Structure 1
Amino acid sequence: MTSINTNVAAMTALQTLQSTNSMMDDTQNRISTGYRVGQASDNAAYWSIATTMRSDVKAMSSVADSLGIGASTVDTAYEALSASKDVLDEIKAKLTTATQDGVDRTKVQDEITQLQNQLKSIASSASFSGQNWLSIDSSAASYTSSKDMISSFSRSAGGSLSVGSIRVDTSSFALFDASGTKSGIIDSGKVNMTAVTLGAGTSAAGTAGPPATSGTYTPAAPTAAFTLDSDDMISFTLAVDGGTAQKVLITKGIIDDALGTTDGVVSSANYAKVFAKAVDFANVTGVSVNATTGVVTSNSTGTTSTVAFAAGSSDSIGVSEMDITKSTVKTVDIKAYINIVDSAISKVTAAASTLGSVKNRIDIQTSFVNNLMDTFEKGIGTLVDADMTEESTKLKALQTQQQLGVQALSIANNSTQTLLQLFR
């Protein structure tokens, strides 16, 4: 039936054209934005998941930045420790030279002083983003030896969030400590040294005859066990037959060498062995030492032979305080200094090794976080990104449908003109 009141064909063509235009708008929007799901109304579930994951990716980006700062801080400390080791090697070489007879110790000390100042410069310069792990003040209220670097961000199945970190204990890295404890590797640790009082022991003057009847000194064991660190020492003197007092030192190296240990601990039961090793190390002339009992015997065959002991004091010295020009510093002191520097080199090497391990872990974690972010981005894209190949094909089809729809609507609208022809 043909009606002049209702053009059914035009209405149908118009509806089809409107539907085509709507689909074209959606397709063009997906092409222009690149998103198949650009808002919650497109797909509420996918949009919610993608929005949450995008937020997590931003958080992980901050984690990657934190790891970058941490890596730079570790690199700075590592390079400073490496440079410090080279300087310590030089100081050790200078001290070794100073043990030779005829060497001008003043000139050697001038070189050592410059190297000591260089160590201070290295430590004070080893700062990144306000953090300096090598030059510290452990007495400061804000100081803590544990440093945390944000390393991970995760979300559980229940939606709860957690932030992980890499903790670094920097207590063994410090070269200098401005506090009263002076616990750094390079600076002095005098206040760490517990005073040790050595007993007077017993002395016996010998008479004329062979060495077997000469004067002796039997060391008295300390009243309590004590421990020496690498920068601690105990000094005393032995005078043989009224001659010049010869200086003797007990250090951690001597203790460990005498007892076959590594902790520097001396007890009353094993003190004699330590005493004997110390006298032997000092090359005290004119005496022989019993390695089991520690008894010192004068080798003199004169009418009267004696071994006089003068109790000294406990002390501690760091690399930064060594001065070989002092009148009290003997060759045996310089030998002890060499051991102290060698111990400092070992500590610096161990600290650098630890930092190397931390840096390796940071690099691994950084790579993992970056790969994880890429995986998240890929997952988000799978959920919400538009397939541009598919959308372009769909757009061309819709453009064709639109053109046909316009033609159909035009034909439907012209049908009334055909009806007028019937009345002419």
Structure 2
Amino acid sequence: MTSINTNSSAMAALQTLRSVNNNLSKTQDAVSSGLKVGQASDNAAYWAIATTMKSDNSALSAVSDALGVGAAKVDTAYTAVESSIDVVTEIKAKLVAATEDGVDKDKIQDEITQLQKQLSSISASASFNGENWVSGSVGDTQSVVSSFIRTAGGVSVSTSGYSATADDLLFADDTGILDRDGAVSGASMTGFSISSTSTKGDIDQLITDTETALKGMTALGSKLGSLQTGIELQTDFVSKLSDSIDSGVGRLVDADMEEESSKLSALQTQQQLAVQSLSIANSSSSNILSLFR
């Protein structure tokens, strides 16, 4: 039976065309954006996971930047310690020279005074972004951001560092590695002085104090070196972790371009056939006119 009021063939062809056009639109979106899951309606579960992990990756990027700042702080402190070791070594050599008979101790003291001023300058200028890790107060917290952690209970940021003791600072509230009292004038490494009246015993004690200061600075340099290594390892890990997250998110939401290309070609062909089918279905009604001629 053929009806001019209801064309079942045309309706079926129209539904097919609509379905093809809908699929074609999705495929074109995937091809243009490169994403098979671009919004929650595409796949709610994958979209939620990808959105969360992208947010975490942004936090990791901030951690990487913070590690860079932390590395600069530690490098600055290490450079100060290394330079101070060179200066104290030179002071030690001057003191050894002062033990010789007939040496003008006052002139040696003039040289030592310049070296002491250099020590104070190194310590005071070893600052990065307003933080000085080698000259401060005992109990100061020296820390750098090391990682961003997500657990079932929530998220947190961890840090690496230490709470400074007198052994962690060149100068600190009249203590510190270079502020320990010596045998002459109750002196620190930057405050002692020798003169023509200084005895060999006085100078020997100062040499001993200088050696103690060198050991303390060497230990501090070792601690800072360990922290440098830790920061470098953490920076490398954060970089690799960020790449892994990007790769994992890509597996969830990125479109397979080879597959989408094949689907696009097939759907374009289906669209043409559906249009042709609808045209044929619509023309069947007009054929009824021939029955009335």
Q: Paired residue for 1:357?
A: 226
**Residues 99-131 of structure 1: per-residue CA shift (max 9 Å, x gap):** 112222222222111111111111111111211
Q: Which residue identity lines up with residue 158 of structure 2 in the other structure?
A: G
* Residue of structure 2 in register with 1:317 after alignment: 187
> Does residue 1:346 correspond to 2:222, yes or no?
no
Q: How far 1:232 moved relative to its partner?
A: 4.3
- In 1, Cα distance between the equivalents of 2:261 and 2:110? 80
Counterpart of 2:176 (choices 178, 184, 188) is: 184
Could you tell me which residue of structure 1 aligns to residue 83 of structure 2? 83
Q: Is the 8 A contact 2:182 2:192 kept in 1?
A: no
Task: Report the identity percentage.
Answer: 53
Alignment of 1:242-391 (within 5 A): 316-325=186-195, 328-391=197-260
Is 1:162 paired with 2:156? yes
Q: Structure 2: how far apart are the matches of 1:55 and 1:88?
A: 50
Q: Deviations over 1:132-175 (max 9, x none)?
A: 0112245xxxxx4332322222222x343333221323322321
User: Whole-Å Cα distance in 2 between the matches of residues 163 and 404 of structure 1?
Assistant: 58
Give the match for residue 148 of structure 1.
143
Structure with the higher helix share, 1 or 2:
2
Tell me the amino acid that sits aligned with residue 118 of structure 1.
Answer: Q
AA partner of residue 399 (structure 1):
Q
Aligned to 1:105: 105
The answer to whether the 8 Å contact 2:161/2:227 transfers is no
Task: List runs of 5+ in structure 1 lacking aligned partners.
Answer: 139-143, 190-230, 236-314
Residue 18, structure 1, aligned to residue 18, structure 2: yes
How many residue pairs get matched? 292
Question: Amino acid of the residue matched to residue 372 of structure 1?
Answer: L
Q: What's the C-alpha RMSD, in Å, of the aligned pairs?
A: 2.0
Q: Give the superposition deviation at 1:328.
A: 4.4
In structure 2, C-alpha distance between the alignment counterparts of 1:351 and 1:368, rounded to whole Å = 26
**SS at structure 2 position matched to 1:319:** coil
Quickly say closer, same or farther: Cα 1:395–1:159, change in 2 above 3 A.
farther
- Equivalent position amino acid for 1:395 in 2: L
State the structure with bigger RCO (CA 8 A, min sep 6), 1 or 2. 2
Please name the residue that 1:115 is paired with. 115
What is the TM-score of this pair, normalised by structure 2? 0.92
Shift of 1:88: 1.1
Deviations 1:379-412 (A, max 9, x none): 2222222212211111111111111112222222
- Partner SS for 1:155: strand
Summarize the Cα distance change of 1:324–1:232 in structure 2 as closer, same or farther, 3 Å threshold: closer
| Contact kept? 2:182, 2:206, Cα under 8 Å | no
1:175-198 CA distances to partner (integer Å, 9 max, x unpaired)? 123x3xx012223x4xxxxxxxxx
Equivalent AA in structure 1 for residue 30 of structure 2: R
SS at structure 2 position matched to 1:11: helix
